[in-house]
Structure 1
Amino acid sequence: MSERVAPISRYTRRIASALRRAAEGEQSHLTLSGLVLLLGPKAHRLLLLVVSLFNMIPGPPGYGGTIAWTTCAIAVAMLLGRPIRLPGIIGNRRLKLDMLIKASDQVVKVAAVLARLSRPRLRFLTGAAANLPYALLVILVSVVMSLPIPFINAIPNVGLCIIAFSMLNRDGIGVIVGLGATFLGLMLAGGIIVGAYHLGLAAVTALA
C-alpha cells in the first residue's frame, strides 16, 4: 500500500510544479497577476499560503506593502466568493522566478516535515463555513501589515502562514495555534504603533 500524502504536501508540490512550468517558458519574472492565473483565480486558500510565504522573503522597498495588499485582495475575493482579480498597481508587480522556485523547493521540504506533526482534526475549523471569519481576519491583519513601520508584519504574518498551512491540511488545532500567533503579533504591532505615535508627538512638542 502506498504511503498517504498529506494534503499540504500535495498543495506545496503543486506550487513548485506550477512555478517550474512558468520557468520553462524562458521568462525570468512572473507578475502577481500571472501567479494568480498560474495557481487558479479560485484557489483562494492556496494563494493566501503562497503570499504569506512570499512575505517572509526579503525584498526591495515597498515589497512588503505590495504583498500585504495582495493578501488583502485575495481575502476580499474569498469573502465575496469571487475569482481573484488584482488591481494593476499590485498585479503588475514582477517577482524573480528563480527566487520563487528556490523558495518553493524549500517550502516543499518544510511542509513534508511539518506534515508529520499536522493532520486532519477539528475539521469544522477548516471547512467552507470558516471562509467568512478567515477572510475577515486576513483583511484586518493585511491592513495592519501594510503600514510602513519596520518589523510590524513579522509575527502577524507568521500567524497567517500557520493558519493558511493548517487550513489546507484540514488541521483545526493548527488553526488555533495560528490564531494565537496572529493575535500576539497584532498586540505587538499595536504596541509599536502606539510607541511610534508617542515618539512622533514628543518630537513635534520638542520642536514647538
Structure 2
Amino acid sequence: MIEADGGTAENPAGNPLPGNENRKRGRRLSKILSDIALDVERSRVSVADLFTAMGDRAFGALLLIFALPNVVPTPPGTSAITGAPLVFLAAQLMLGQSPWLPKIIANRSMAREDFAAIVLRISPWLARGERMLRPRLTFLVYPPVEYVTGLLCLILAIILALPVPLGNILPAVAICLFSFGILERDGLCILFGLLTFVLSLVVVAGVLFAIVKGFILLVSATFF
C-alpha cells in the first residue's frame, strides 16, 4: 500500500530542475527504474526518489513513470500516487515551466517490493519502446507544439483521475505515447498519442453516457 513518507531525497523534489537539464539525454529509463527496484537498501520508494533519479530525463520520463502503472494491473492505492503528479507535471509542461512537485506529493511512497513488481511488468514494454523510437518529425516535440502536448496530457490526466470504469487505460496509453515522443524526440509517436487522445475522449464519453442513462432508467423503474 502507498502512504505518506517523511523522507526526503538528496535533491529536494520541491525545487525545479535547471532548465538545461530538461534537454539532456542520459541512461535509458528502463535501466534507471530497474536500478531503483533492485536496490535492496531501500525499504520504500518515494516520488522524490524517482524525481531525483530522473533528473536528466525531466518531463517525458516523469510523465511516463506515473502513467504506465495505470496501463497494467497494480497494487491497491497506486492511483493515489500517480494521478496528482500527472496533473501537476502536465500543467507545467503546458506552461513551459521546469518540472517540480510539492512536498505533499513528493513525499508519498510505496514499498520497494510493490515498486519492483510494477517495474517487472512494464520493463519489457518500456525497453521495446526505447529500441523502436528515434528522432523524427522533431518540430512536434519542441515549443510551441510541446505546450499543446502538455495541454492534451493535462486533459488526459484529469480524465484518468476520475472514477470512470474502464476509463483510465486509454488516457494512460495516450500519455505514455506523448511521453515516449518527448523522451526520444519522436514526432511520429506524438501523432499516435494524438490519435489515442481522440479515441480516449470518445470511449470515456460513451462510458459516461451509458452510466448516466443507466442511472436514469434505474430511477424511472424505482419511482415511476
If the TM-score is normalised by the length of the shorter chain, which range does it land in? Answer: 0.7 to 0.9
- 1:200 to partner: Cα distance: 1.4
Pairing 1:18-37 to 2, within 5 Å after superposition: 19-20=36-37, 23-24=39-40, 26-37=41-52
Closer/same/farther in 2, CA of residues 141 and 112 from structure 1, 3 Å limit: closer
**Residue pair 1:30, 1:95 contacting (<8 A) in 2 also:** yes
Task: Tell me the distance in 2 between the aligned counterparts of 1:130 and 1:191.
Answer: 29
Residue among 82, 102, 110 paired with 1:86: 102
Task: Tell me the distance in 2 between the aligned counterparts of 1:104 and 1:76.
Answer: 26
Please give the secondary structure, in 2, of the residue aligned with 1:127. Answer: coil
1:14 matched to 2:32? The reply is: yes
Structure 2 residue runs of 5 or longer lacking an equivalent are 1-24
Q: Provide the alpha-carbon RMSD of the alignment.
A: 2.8
Task: Tell me the distance in 1 between the aligned counterparts of 2:211 and 2:103.
Answer: 31
Closer/same/farther in 2, CA of residues 96 and 127 from structure 1, 3 Å limit: same
Pairing 1:149-188 to 2, within 5 Å after superposition: 149-188=164-203
**Residue pair 1:126, 1:171 contacting (<8 A) in 2 also:** yes
Please give the secondary structure, in 1, of the residue aligned with 2:164. Answer: coil
Please give the secondary structure, in 1, of the residue aligned with 2:28. Answer: helix
In structure 1, the residue matched to 2:83 is 68
Query: More helix by proportion, 1 or 2?
Result: 1
Point out 4+ residue stretches in structure 1 off by more than 6 angstroms: none
In structure 2, the residue matched to 1:45 is 60
- 1:71 to partner: Cα distance: 0.7
AA matched with 1:86 = P
In structure 1, the residue matched to 2:138 is 123
**Residue pair 2:90, 2:154 contacting (<8 A) in 1 also:** yes
AA matched with 1:197 = V
Please give the secondary structure, in 1, of the residue aligned with 2:99. Answer: coil
Identity over aligned residues, as a percent? 25
**Residue pair 1:41, 1:85 contacting (<8 A) in 2 also:** no
Task: Tell me the distance in 2 between the aligned counterparts of 1:110 and 1:169.
Answer: 15
Structure 1 residue runs of 5 or longer lacking an equivalent are 1-6
Please give the secondary structure, in 2, of the residue aligned with 1:150. Answer: coil
User: Given the two structures, how large is their TM-score scaled by the length of structure 2?
Assistant: 0.75
User: Given the two structures, how large is their TM-score scaled by the length of structure 1?
Assistant: 0.80
Task: Tell me the distance in 2 between the aligned counterparts of 1:120 and 1:77.
Answer: 23
**Residue pair 1:120, 1:169 contacting (<8 A) in 2 also:** yes
AA matched with 1:170 = R
Task: Tell me the distance in 2 between the aligned counterparts of 1:10 and 1:92.
Answer: 25
**Residue pair 2:140, 2:190 contacting (<8 A) in 1 also:** yes
Task: Tell me the distance in 1 between the aligned counterparts of 2:183 and 2:57.
Answer: 14
Pairs aligned (count): 198
- 1:87 to partner: Cα distance: 5.6
